[in-house]
């Protein structure tokens, strides 16, 4: 195992930790807003770390750019969906 593989493993483990933390927050927190906050923040960071690990393993700028685009689209989708869920929760699920 070389240095690149070691960096990728550390990034993947960190990403999995944040995914796990977001899932635990989703299951343990009481209200909708706390659950959304825990889930979106942790999952976005976890996705970034996983994409960074894959970019390190790919060692190609085109694949790294595509992985960055995947992360940005995931960030946008999580933000919009969390906003919509929070707005409906505030209105009382009309």
pLDDT single digits (tens) 26-85: 888 888 888 888 888 888 999 999 999 999 999 889 999 999 999 999 999 988 988 888
Give the start-to-end residue ranges of the domains of the chain. 3-91
The answer to whether 81 touches 47, Cβ cutoff 8 Å, is no
Q: Which tokens hold the place of 47?
A: 């996705």
The confidence score (pLDDT) of residue 52 equals: 95
- Tell me the average pLDDT across 10-27: 93
Helices and strands, number each (H, E), in the chain: 3, 0
Q: What is the pTM of this model?
A: 0.85
Q: Quote the CA–CA distance of 89 and 11 in Å, as a whole number.
A: 34
pLDDT single digits (tens) 4-14: 999 999 999 99
């Amino acid at each position: 195992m070389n240095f690149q593989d070691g960096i990728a493993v550390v990034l993947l483990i960190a990403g999995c930790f944040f995914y796990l933390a977001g899932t635990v927050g989703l299951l343990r927190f009481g209200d909708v807003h706390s659950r959304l906050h825990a889930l979106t923040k942790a999952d976005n960071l976890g996705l970034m770390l996983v994409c960074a690990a894959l970019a390190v393993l790919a060692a190609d700028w085109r694949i790294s750019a595509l992985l960055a685009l995947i992360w940005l689209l995931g960030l946008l989708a999580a933000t919009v969906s969390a906003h919509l869920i929070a707005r409906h929760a505030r209105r009382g699920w009309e």
